A and B are shown apart, each in its own frame.
Chain A
Amino acid sequence: MDFTVFAQQIANGLVNGMAYVLIATGLTLVFGVLRIVNFAHGEFYMLGAYITYFVGTLLGLDYIAAAAISAVVVAGLGVVANKLIFWPLRRDHEFTILLSSLGLALLIANGGELLFGADPKYVESPFADEVLDIGTVTLTQQRILVFAAAVVALVAVYLFIRYSRFGKMMRATAQNPDGAALTGINIGLVHTYTFALACGLAALSGALVGPTVMIFPTIGNWAVLKGFIVVIMGGLGSVTGALFAGLLLGVIESLGGGYISLGFMEAIGYAMIIAVLLWRPNGLFSTARGLR
């Protein structure tokens, strides 16, 4: 086995994995706090990539500004989706909520195809073609940006949940919504901000990964599947679990694709969640209810 190739595969896997972690963090936050398994989460990733593309090409703004605008706009759209669909249904059976999130996913994905067209697009970034050598490993600057920006965003989210007043309110709501409401926490506000945060993270991930791949209106489907694999592996509701599981999935996929078969690489992730759900249904890292 060639070590250079091996190291390159690991590095590629870590970058992909970090993008998965960003997607999965939002998914797991929404589950932990709102108890919603949001099948539409991947669509916010798709919107993030497309809004970055359109702000960049139509308004002529540079890539970083476009990505930031996209994250904010998508967070706003998340608030609207929560207001119209998930908040009114919050006391309904989980089956109803699952179905409504599926409906929303189909709505955004097909609406996206209608508005953006089905042809692939390419998000312009000044970092996409610049290459950086680190030892024997070669990465584009864009891929390093994916990793670095994701680390910064995740640390910020972690500190926010851990130490800010609002983060404490989120954790209290995750542990016991009724108890949290009794102590005077505005549950509606917590739901709104959590959803906005989750959608913003998904959009950021889309904006970061966008320049490294072609974007289609159906990529949300791919994103939500990756997010679910990570979230199931790490345990629904666990932020630290999502971090380890996401990096693990990225590396395993990369090695599997490099050494076994690219075609069956997609199936590796599904096989992993099946194994995890059957062996430890609450995830590899889970202990108890609440945000961790």
Chain B
Amino acid sequence: MNTNSHGHSLAIAGGVAALAVLPFLAGNAYLEHLLVLWMLYALLALSLNIVIGYLGELTFGHAAFVGVGAYTSAILSTQLGLPPLLGLPMAGLVAAAFGLVIGYAALRVVGPQFAILTLGFGAILFTITNHWVDLTRGPMGITDIPPMAIGPLAFDSARPTYYLVLALVLATAWLCHALVSSRTGRAFLAVRENAPLAASLGINVFHTKLLGFVAATAIAGIGGAIYAHYIRVITPDIMGVHNVAALIIVVIIGGRGTILGPILGALVYIGLLESLRVAGPLRMVIFAALLTGTVVFLPGGLVSLWQRWRNSHKAENNLPATPTGLPSTEGGAK
């Protein structure tokens, strides 16, 4: 056990070190830009994973919260001249406030109804953003957003931004890890597996879910703000169906309910998106096929491949197998 957890932390340290030197290996600005996109998607996917993976509810509204964060920080910095560094926590707060109100309403229903309700809320936020031209400039979007800066350190190029987002990804990953090993996190999983049973054990299902939902939306808002200050142009498209689908695809392909899964899924998504650029519209067909294929054939996502391999390895050495991915929500009659 001791050597195992020692090996575990060694592997994590190695992984973090590899991520830290990656921009130096990239060699050109384009690859560095892709690394930033990878980390941004990993951050957003980690936040979505709290709802999809830990709470076990499908939300179609997540991109709207990314948009709320992006617009909050962009409007504050372009119209009120607020430094982007202050815009970042404001984006998280405003997105969390939206998450609190919407979650408070939507989490009263579960399953398909919850999914449709979040779709409705997301669509309303999109419609408002698209038509409230005085505030958001509508479909024209907001341009000339100033880059993020901490004192003299400006995040106006890919490499510093990469380290900023990497730090946030690691912080979020650590938060998720701490969450899952805490009482609150175990309450999340209990609610996901069997809500009535969790309630009978004294867990306040509604409050537990609301907590997870608000945390997820706050992180999404911060991610959106960083995106806005990095790309420096935002349009209502950031809240669109396309982005909703992309985030869900990232989480499911990587492996929901895990920490490595969304990060891995984001790598696959950005990697395929760029390497298949010539394929044009065929790309989205490939992603849709990957999503459907993963749901049907590999419900635990890519990370479950590793767990499968390790279990078969352990079986050869007569070691007890650890359960893979998310076995208990899959399969079994309702």
Nearest A-chain residue to B248, judged by Cβ = A102
Greatest chain B CB density within 10 A among A85, A99, A107, A267 is at A99
Asked whether, in the complex, the Cβ of A264 is within 8 Å of the Cβ of B295, the reply is no
Q: Which of B109, B124, B293, B295 contacts A271 (CB 8 A)?
A: B124
Q: Mark B106-118, 1 if CB is under 8 A from A, else 0.
A: 0011011101110
The stretch from B10-18, B177-185, B214-222, B279-287 touching chain A is B279-287
The answer to the question of B81 belonging to the interface, with a C-beta cut-off of 8 Å to chain A, is no
Docked Cα-Cα span, A89 to B287, in Å, equals: 20
Known: A95-B58, A110-B288, A273-B117. A103 touches B109 (CB 8 A): no
User: Which residues of B in the span 87-125 have a Cβ within 8 Å of any Cβ on A?
Assistant: 105, 108-109, 111-113, 115-117, 119-121, 123-124
Asked whether, in the complex, the Cβ of B331 is within 8 Å of the Cβ of A104, the reply is no
The answer to the question of B131 belonging to the interface, with a C-beta cut-off of 8 Å to chain A, is yes
The answer to the question of A225 belonging to the interface, with a C-beta cut-off of 8 Å to chain B, is yes
User: Which residues of B in the span 244-270 have a Cβ within 8 Å of any Cβ on A?
Assistant: 245, 248, 252
Docked Cα-Cα span, A21 to B16, in Å, equals: 54
Q: Which of B58, B131, B287, B289 contacts A98 (CB 8 A)?
A: B58
Chain A residues lying within 8 Å of B299, measured Cβ to Cβ, are: 96
Chain B interface residue count, CB cutoff 8 Å, equals 43
Asked whether, in the complex, the Cβ of B330 is within 8 Å of the Cβ of A106, the reply is no
Q: Which of B58, B127, B284, B296 contacts A263 (CB 8 A)?
A: B127
Docked Cα-Cα span, A96 to B112, in Å, equals: 11
Asked whether, in the complex, the Cβ of A266 is within 8 Å of the Cβ of B120, the reply is no
Asked whether, in the complex, the Cβ of B123 is within 8 Å of the Cβ of A266, the reply is yes
Asked whether, in the complex, the Cβ of A93 is within 8 Å of the Cβ of B295, the reply is no
The answer to the question of B334 belonging to the interface, with a C-beta cut-off of 8 Å to chain A, is yes
Give B109 Cβ to nearest chain A Cβ, in Å: 5
Asked whether, in the complex, the Cβ of A267 is within 8 Å of the Cβ of B113, the reply is no
Asked whether, in the complex, the Cβ of A94 is within 8 Å of the Cβ of B284, the reply is no
Asked whether, in the complex, the Cβ of A91 is within 8 Å of the Cβ of B109, the reply is no
Docked Cα-Cα span, A270 to B112, in Å, equals: 15
Docked Cα-Cα span, A120 to B124, in Å, equals: 25
Give B31 Cβ to nearest chain A Cβ, in Å: 27
Chain B residues lying within 8 Å of A93, measured Cβ to Cβ, are: 329-332, 334
What is the count of residue pairs linking A and B with beta-carbon distances less than 8 angstroms?
122
Known: A225-B119, A228-B119. A89 touches B127 (CB 8 A): no
Q: Which of A106, A232, A278 contacts B288 (CB 8 A)?
A: A106
The answer to the question of A8 belonging to the interface, with a C-beta cut-off of 8 Å to chain B, is no
Interface of A, secondary structure class, is: helix
Chain B residues lying within 8 Å of A102, measured Cβ to Cβ, are: 245, 248, 291
User: Which residues of B in the span 210-238 have a Cβ within 8 Å of any Cβ on A?
Assistant: none
Nearest B-chain residue to A91, judged by Cβ = B333
Asked whether, in the complex, the Cβ of A110 is within 8 Å of the Cβ of B284, the reply is yes
Q: Which of B130, B291, B332 contacts A106 (CB 8 A)?
A: B291
Chain B residues lying within 8 Å of A96, measured Cβ to Cβ, are: 295, 299, 330
Nearest A-chain residue to B289, judged by Cβ = A107
Give A162 Cβ to nearest chain B Cβ, in Å: 26
Known: A107-B292, A263-B127. A273 touches B120 (CB 8 A): yes
Asked whether, in the complex, the Cβ of A91 is within 8 Å of the Cβ of B119, the reply is no
Chain B residues lying within 8 Å of A65, measured Cβ to Cβ, are: none
Asked whether, in the complex, the Cβ of A103 is within 8 Å of the Cβ of B288, the reply is yes
Docked Cα-Cα span, A113 to B285, in Å, equals: 9
Known: A106-B284, A106-B288, A228-B119. A94 touches B295 (CB 8 A): no
Q: Mark A110-145, 1 if CB is under 8 A from B, else 0.
A: 110110001000000000000000000000000000
Interface bin, chain A = 35 or more
Nearest B-chain residue to A98, judged by Cβ = B58
The answer to the question of B86 belonging to the interface, with a C-beta cut-off of 8 Å to chain A, is no
Docked Cα-Cα span, A263 to B134, in Å, equals: 14
Q: Mark A217-235, 1 if CB is under 8 A from B, else 0.
A: 0000100010011001000
The answer to the question of B305 belonging to the interface, with a C-beta cut-off of 8 Å to chain A, is no
Q: Which of A35, A37, A99, A109 contacts B295 (CB 8 A)?
A: A99
Docked Cα-Cα span, A267 to B245, in Å, equals: 21
Chain A residues lying within 8 Å of B252, measured Cβ to Cβ, are: 99
Q: Which of B105, B284, B287, B330 contacts A278 (CB 8 A)?
A: B105
Docked Cα-Cα span, A228 to B289, in Å, equals: 24
Q: Which of B117, B282, B331 contacts A114 (CB 8 A)?
A: B282
Known: A37-B115, A95-B329, A263-B127. A274 touches B282 (CB 8 A): no
Chain A residues lying within 8 Å of B287, measured Cβ to Cβ, are: 106, 110
- Using CB atoms and an 8 Å cutoff, list the residues of chain B in contact with chain A: 56, 58, 105, 108-109, 111-113, 115-117, 119-121, 123-124, 127-128, 130-131, 241, 245, 248, 252, 281-282, 284-285, 287-289, 291-293, 295-296, 299, 329-334
Instruction: Show 10 A/B contacts (Cβ-Cβ < 8 Å), sorted by A.
Output: A85-B296, A91-B332, A93-B329, A93-B334, A96-B299, A98-B111, A102-B248, A107-B289, A263-B127, A266-B123
- Using CB atoms and an 8 Å cutoff, list the residues of chain A in contact with chain B: 35, 37, 85, 88-89, 91-96, 98-100, 102-107, 109-111, 113-114, 118, 221, 225, 228-229, 232, 236, 263-264, 266-267, 270-271, 273-274, 277-278, 281
Closest 10 CB pairs of A and B: A103-B292, A106-B288, A37-B112, A110-B284, A107-B288, A270-B120, A103-B291, A263-B131, A267-B127, A110-B285
